[in-house]
Amino acid sequence: MLERISATLKGKTRLEPGTLDALEQILIEADLGVQTTQELINDLKAASLEGEDLEESARRFLKEKIRTIFASGRTAAASALDGKPCVILVVGVNGTGKTTFIGKMAHLFKKDGKSVLLAGADTFRAAAGEQLQIWAKRAGSDIILQSPGADPASVAYDALEAAMARHVDVLIVDTAGRLHTKVNLMEELKKIRRVLSKRMPSAPHEVLLVLDATTGQNGLAQASFFTQAVGVTGLVLAKLDGTARGGIAVAVSRTLGIPVRWAGLGEGIDDLVPFDPESFVEGLFGP
């Protein structure tokens, strides 16, 4: 995106209508979303930028606007909560890297000296429990599983009971990689949340939605549906490598006010970092 913005503004001293239209197209194609893009373009137009350093001043203006979008999201994080266990519910559609993220997050908590229990509430796919077991072993975490087809809410409840009895620091609940348009499966997620809160009124302390950084504008629809169903409190931007810019994170943060918590940078167990808005913005627009 940086290269396209530079090419669009090269030699320009004023933001004329044609130039603004070109910038709007670039931002939309970077998955910032139509509404977010229009807001940015309107603000850019109102700023009346001009001069020989137009390219630099326009990029600086856009970067600051996106920093503000990220800063406006809710900021309370599960890792900062007191009490045991801290219950984290992880949701998302198939193929986003949800199970991989859970393993990486468990590894980070273990490195921080916390005890971790994983709950395999994705009983819809027979292979889901096996995949979670592999990651639990890599992370050195305990795991609660039941047979394929078992009631996911029952698995979550039993896992919370076990976590409380064992005085575990963190319970991470995996869920089926459901399509967000499947009503019956979304109802199942709601049931998991109800069961957890019935046993522990403050649970879940976090509901993390894993989004593929390359998912495009469908990611905003996913975030909207999951938020309506279970109250998403944070985003995980998976597969954020050198080619995936993840502009959808801007659209979701601006539209729903949900902060990005984590960024997955690769397949390794250590390739998960707390999301850094500054680095993200620099990646979009350059220094």
Round to whole Å and give the CA distance between 209 and 225.
Answer: 11
- Measured CA to CA, the distance from residue 188 to residue 175 in angstroms comes to 10
Q: Are residues 264 and 199 in the same domain?
A: yes
Note whether 60 and 89 are same-domain residues.
no
CATH number of the domain at 26, please: 1.20.120.140
Domain endpoint, select from 71, 100, 118: 71
pLDDT at residue number 80: 45
Residue 2 · residue 222 · CB < 8 Å: no
Question: Do residue 217 and residue 233 come from a single domain?
Answer: yes
pLDDT value of position 62: 93
Please tell me the predicted confidence (pLDDT) of residue 218: 84
CATH number of the domain that 220 lies in?
3.40.50.300
pLDDT for the residue 31: 86
Domain span at residue 49 reads 2-71
Residue where a domain terminates, one of 71, 101, 123: 71
Task: Give the model's pLDDT for residue 132.
Answer: 94
Task: Give me the pLDDT at residue 24, please.
Answer: 94
> In Å, how far are 71, 130, 212 from 68, measured between CA atoms?
5, 41, 23
Both 55 and 174 in one domain: the answer is no
Q: What is the pLDDT of residues 259-268, one digit of tens each?
A: 999 998 888 8
Does residue 145 share a domain with residue 40? no
Tell me whether strands 206-212 and 170-174 are parallel, antiparallel or unpaired.
unpaired
What pLDDT shows up at residue 27?
92
- CB-based contact 194:167 (threshold 8 Å): no
Same domain for 34 and 175? no
Rounded to whole angstroms, the Cα distance separating 109 from 27 reads 36
* Domain end point (choices 71, 104, 125): 71
**Looking at the structure, do residues 264 and 198 belong to the same domain, yes or no?**
yes
- Cβ atoms of 200 and 225 within 8 Å: the answer is no
Grouping H, G, I as helix, E, B as strand and the rest as coil, residue 209 is strand
120 shares its domain with 257: yes
- Is the domain of 260 the same as that of 243? yes
Q: Please tell me whether residues 39 and 90 are part of one structural domain.
A: no
The domain total for the chain is 2
DSSP 209-266: EEEETT-TTHHHHHHHHHHHHH---EEEEE---SS---THHHHHHHHH-PPEEEEE-S
Which one, of 176, 171, 175, lies nearest residue 158 by Cα? 171
Q: 209, 241, 242, 239: which is closest to 224 by C-alpha?
A: 209
- Domain check: are 19 and 120 in the same one? no
Q: Are 31 and 54 members of one domain?
A: yes
Distance CA 1, CA 25 (A): 11
The verdict on pTM exceeding 0.75 is yes
3-state DSSP percent of the chain in helix, strand and coil, to 5: 50, 15, 35
In this prediction, the residues of the chain whose per-residue pLDDT falls under 50 are: 76, 78-80
DSSP secondary structure string, 71-113?
HTS----GGG--SSPEEEEEE--TTS-HHHHHHHHHHHHHHTT
Assess contact for 32 and 250: CB atoms under 8 A.
yes
